[in-house]
Structure 1
Amino acid sequence: MGTRAIVRGVGHYLPARVVENAEFEATLDTSDEWIRSRSGIERRHFAAEGETTSQMAIAAARAALDDAGLEADDIDAIVLATSTADLTFPSAATMVQAGLGMSRGFAYDVQAVCAGFVFAMANANAMISSGLARRVMVIGAETFSRIMDWTDRGTCVLFGDGAGALILEAAEGTGAAADRGILAVDLNSDGRHRDILYVDGGVSTGTTGHLVMHGKEVFRHAVEKLADTAHSALDKAGLAGTDVDWLVPHQANLRIIKATAQRLHLPMEKVIVTVQDHGNTSAASIPLALSVGRHEGRIKDGDLVVTEAIGGGLAWGSVVLRW
């Protein structure tokens, strides 16, 4: 027996502006074919001028509340994963709390870059399991378009903006792998690899900075570490790859997604892929993909879902949950 954190609702938001690959051809030595062949990305959304991470998070949160049939004050806590908060402080999560009209509870941000949503889900799961909160809104929201070096064709074509939200709620479980809710979590980081993916700004420089990435190194770490963390989480849950209904990976690169699925012996028919339409939305990519998969009728009640992600830090991890 024990308390499980089950999914009560899911929602997402994408900015109105859609940027096709061809748009980059005017300013960069690149092409639609070059971008597609290396990343699988065809288009992405960019936030409008003045549109912030917290505003997008509020929109995704409202969609999740509607999906769950809940009001803002039914939520005990908000955990928001982002690397692109509106301000240095306060947290974007407190801005979401205010924007939703939530007059109680608490809110804070989590920073684990592209792995942020997995880390935020782990936080929410621990709070629910311990009785600290009954219902937690977990959000991933990013405006990576604001930290791009527009002269670097290797990075600026890969990222997009958006937000996704998941409401987790306490429910009694039997302790068996057949329970609904989060069944296992696996988190990891290794600060020795910080130089392969980082932003060259912050309080130490007095600038916002731009994203810097050594793609080949990131790719090498990603494929190995994503498969390993997914296996670890499944082992903790007493499950195997053959039990998985849906792999919902961080949407960074189609080649990484395919290589990870192969290592887990999962056919691509069991993988939710949104990278072609969203690009890499960092911490927003998994909740965006979960919301799209659910609202398209693919992810159904009782399905076993594995999410996994890796980001700067390096930080990586996975969550196994039954919808």
Structure 2
Amino acid sequence: MVTRAIIVGCGGYLPQRVVANDALGEAFGIETSDAWITERTGIRQRHVAAPEETASSMGLAAARQALERAGLEGAAVDCVIVATATPDSAFPATAVRIQAGLGSHQGFAFDVSAACTGFVYALGLADSLIRTGQARCAVVIGTEVFSRILDWTDRGTCVLFGDGAGAVVLVAGEGRGDATDRGILSTHLHSDGRYGDILLVDGGAGSNGECGKLRMAGKEVFRHAVSKLASVVDEALAANGLAQSDIRWLIPHQANLRIIDAMGKKLGLPKERVVVTVDRHANTSAASIPLALAEAAGKGLIERGDLMVLEGIGGGLTWGAALARF
């Protein structure tokens, strides 16, 4: 028998304020149209954080929902890992603020910075910590307040992003050590710093204060996205002796509907087996995968035993995939 990190609860949080494409001009002075945005990205609206909302407050709300759905109390948590590119402050880590809010006074908490791939990175770390016995119950959170690092005069980037948080609860369980086990089967992480300048924030970070602004060479990012994501998913399947036909669900980073559709086609999945939230959430960076997972699980779409692929690509460049059985 081997130790596996099993997903027992998923949660999400979205700010109350919703800004549709047509309302961007009134809200932020963006001169563009719903048709222009929708045709290029699939995005129709995004959620925008209120002034008092932060990465930690949204992440805490998502974590509480995930724990509630798991039937666990915060005191049971001994590891909190937060993926964010918009932390509350340079330090302390956003994770320790969430740890305190959960009432988890044991174990440890820390942040991970890998942009839009951050949740996959954090999931991989939590899986390793549980496998080695350093944690028994981990909360992994992606939370972002991208509205505060956007240049609202650049319609090529500002229309793409939204705010929100998603979380999963992992607990240690036993498996046979093969691909039939429940839980995280494997994670596969990559980066290539040669492409760091095609997607970056040109200054400091901290969702409570002054930040740099997001800059992106969109065509360059798109050019890398599908090939790198397809490669890492193939890597994950090969590592577990599985085929594309074994995949029940694709839960991708929600950056662009064209990329999502291309990945679904490469994997031979019908559209109803690809979780899509980008139309309503826009790109919430590290929060997008756990938000999509929480929505699908909350609706009862994903059933126990279903094989899921979670994959993303982000600034760095970073990219990765996780293979998990729900």
Q: What is the letter of the counterpart of residue 137 of structure 1?
A: V
TM-aligned CA deviation for residue 208 of structure 1: 1.6
Q: Distance in 2 between matches of 1:91 and 1:265?
A: 40
Per-residue CA deviation, residues 203-252 of structure 1 (Å, 9 max, x unaligned), is 8xx96210000110000100111111111111111111100000000000
**In structure 2, C-alpha distance between the alignment counterparts of 1:214 and 1:264, rounded to whole Å:** 27
Deviations 1:90-109 (A, max 9, x none): 00000001111222111000
Task: Look up the match of 2:156.
Answer: 154
Paired residue type of 1:20: A
TM-score by length of 2: 0.97
- 1:175 is paired with a residue whose SS is coil
Q: Does residue 304 in structure 1 map to residue 314 in structure 2?
A: no
Judge conservation of contact 1:186–1:317 (CA < 8 Å) in 2: yes
Alpha-carbon distance in 2 for matches of 1:218, 1:57: 27
Task: Tell whether the 8 Å contact from 1:201 to 1:207 is kept in structure 2 after alignment.
Answer: no
Secondary structure of 2:287's counterpart equals helix
Q: How many Å separate the matches in 2 of 1:45 and 1:226?
A: 26
Q: Give the counterpart of 1:183 among 185, 188, 199.
A: 185
Residue of structure 1 in register with 2:76 after alignment: 74
User: Does structure 2 conserve the Cα–Cα contact (< 8 Å) formed by 1:78 and 1:138?
Assistant: yes
- Aligned pair count reads 321
Correspondence for 2:16: 16
CA contact (8 A) 2:80 2:139 kept: yes
- 1:80/1:120 contact within 8 Å kept: yes
Q: Paired residue for 2:147?
A: 145
Q: Which amino acid aligns with 1:192?
A: R
Are the aligned partners of 1:139 and 1:166 in contact in 2 as well (CA < 8 Å)?
yes
Amino acid at match of 2:156: G
* RMSD between aligned residues: 1.1
TM-score (structure 1 length as normaliser): 0.98
**1:246 and 2:249 are equivalent in the alignment:** yes
Q: How does 1:167-178 map to 2 (within 5 A)?
A: 167-178=169-180
Which of 280, 283, 287 is the matching residue for 1:280?
283
Amino acid at match of 1:32: D
Q: Percent identity?
A: 58
Return the offset for 1:202. 2.1
2:237 is aligned with 1:230:
no
- Gaps of at least 5 residues in structure 2 are none
Greater shift in the superposed pair: 241-250 or 263-272 = 263-272
**CA distance, structure 2, for counterparts of residue 29 and residue 45 of structure 1:** 19
2:50 maps to which residue? 48
User: Cα offset for 1:25?
Assistant: 3.4
CA distance in 2, matches of 1:155, 1:227: 24
Residue type at the aligned position of 2:243: A
The AA in structure 2 aligned to 1:85 is P
Write the letter of the residue equivalent to 1:30.
Answer: T
Contact (CA 8 Å) 2:83, 2:143: kept in 1 or not?
yes
Give unpaired runs (5+ residues) of structure 1.
none
Is residue 266 of structure 2 the alignment partner of residue 266 of structure 1? no
**Is the contact between residue 9 and residue 168 of structure 2 (CA under 8 Å) also seen in structure 1?**
yes
Contact 2:81-2:112 at 8 Å conserved across structures: yes
1:269 and 1:216 map into 2 onto residues whose CA distance is 28
Letter of the 2:135 partner, please give it: A
What is the CA-CA distance between 1:29 and the residue it aligns to?
A: 2.6
1:272-295 per-residue CA deviation (whole Å, 9 max, x = no partner) reads 000001000000000000000001
**Equivalent residue for 1:315?**
318
Counterpart secondary structure, 2:251: strand
Tell me which residue corresponds to 1:3. 3
Maintained 8 Å contact 1:234/1:240? yes
> In the alignment, which residue of structure 2 is the partner of 1:37?
39
Tell me the distance in 1 between the aligned counterparts of 2:99 and 2:272: 37
- The residue that corresponds to 2:103 in the other structure is 101
- Give the counterpart letter for 1:320 in structure 2: L
